[in-house]
Chain A
Amino acid sequence: MSPIAHALALLVFIQQAPAEDWTPSAEQAAVYQALSVRDAPDCAAVEALATDPLDALRTVVEHAAMPPWAPMRAAHCMLTRHPDQARDDLLSWVGQAKTRGLGLLVLSELDTLAEPLALEIAGAALAGPLADDARPRLADSAVPSVKALATGGGD
Chain B
Amino acid sequence: MRTCTTLLLIPALILGCNRAKTDPTGKLDLESWSETARDGWAEVSVDITDQHGAFMVSAQTETEGVYLAVEEVWDPDGNLRMSWEDWYEMDEWIGEPFDPWYKDVYFNWPIRAEDGPLTPGTWSVVVGAVDDWWAYKKAELDLTVQRKTDSDLDNATVQAWVVYAKGIEKEDGVQEAVEGAVEEWTRIWAPYGLKLQVEYDGMRGLDPAVPVPGEDSEDLLTLSKRSNGEQIVLIIGETVDGDEWTYGMAGGIPGPMVPSDRSAIAISWLVHAGQDGTFTDDEVRVFGGSLAHEVGHYMGLCHPVEDGYESWDALGDTPTCSAQTSCEEDLGANLMFPYSICDWETCSVQETLTDDQVSVSQYYSGAL
Residues of chain A at the chain B interface (Cβ within 8 Å):
18, 24, 32-33, 36-40, 42-43, 61, 63-73, 75-76, 80, 98-105, 108-109, 136
A108 to B271, CA, bound (A): 12
Q: Which of B245, B272, B303, B307 lies in contact with A68, CB distance below 8 A?
A: B272
Known: A36-B339, A67-B342. Contact between A101 and B274, CB under 8 A? yes
Supply 13 A–B pairs (Cβ within 8 Å), ascending by A. A32-B344, A65-B274, A65-B282, A65-B346, A66-B283, A66-B286, A69-B247, A70-B342, A75-B244, A75-B275, A100-B278, A101-B270, A108-B270
**Contact digits for B271-315, partner A, Cβ 8 Å, 1 yes 0 no:** 111111110001100100000010000000001000100000000
Q: Is the CB of A67 within 8 A of B347?
A: yes
B345: Cβ under 8 A from any A Cβ: yes
Residues of B within 8 A of A42 (CB): 245
**Contact digits for B232-245, partner A, Cβ 8 Å, 1 yes 0 no:** 00000011001111
Q: Is the CB of B345 within 8 A of A65?
A: yes
Residues of A within 8 A of B339 (CB): 33, 36-38
B340: Cβ under 8 A from any A Cβ: yes
A122 to chain B, nearest CB (A): 17
Q: Which of B238, B272, B303, B339 has the most CB of A within 10 A?
A: B339
A103 to chain B, nearest CB (A): 7
Residues of B within 8 A of A136 (CB): 167
B54: Cβ under 8 A from any A Cβ: no
Known: A72-B271, A72-B275. Contact between A66 and B342, CB under 8 A? yes
Chain B interface size, under 10 / 10 to 19 / 20 to 34 / 35 or more: 20 to 34
Q: Is the CB of B270 within 8 A of A104?
A: yes
B214: Cβ under 8 A from any A Cβ: no
Select from chain A the residue with minimum beta-carbon distance to B279: A68
A75 to B282, CA, bound (A): 21
Known: A24-B344, A36-B340, A72-B271. Contact between A66 and B282, CB under 8 A? yes
Q: Is the CB of B342 within 8 A of A72?
A: no
Q: Which of A32, A38, A39, A71 has the most CB of B within 10 A?
A: A38
Q: Which of B275, B342, B344 lies in contact with A101, CB distance below 8 A?
A: B275
Select from chain B the residue with minimum beta-carbon distance to A32: B344
A100 to chain B, nearest CB (A): 4
B325 to chain A, nearest CB (A): 13
Q: Is the CB of B344 within 8 A of A38?
A: no
Q: Is the CB of A72 within 8 A of B347?
A: no
Q: Which of A42, A61, A68, A109 has the most CB of B within 10 A?
A: A68
B210 to chain A, nearest CB (A): 12
Residues of B within 8 A of A75 (CB): 244, 275
Q: Which of A18, A37, A71, A108 lies in contact with B275, CB distance below 8 A?
A: A71
B245 to chain A, nearest CB (A): 5
Q: Is the CB of B275 within 8 A of A102?
A: yes
B117: Cβ under 8 A from any A Cβ: no
Residues of B within 8 A of A61 (CB): 275
Q: Is the CB of A40 within 8 A of B286?
A: no
Residues of A within 8 A of B347 (CB): 66-67
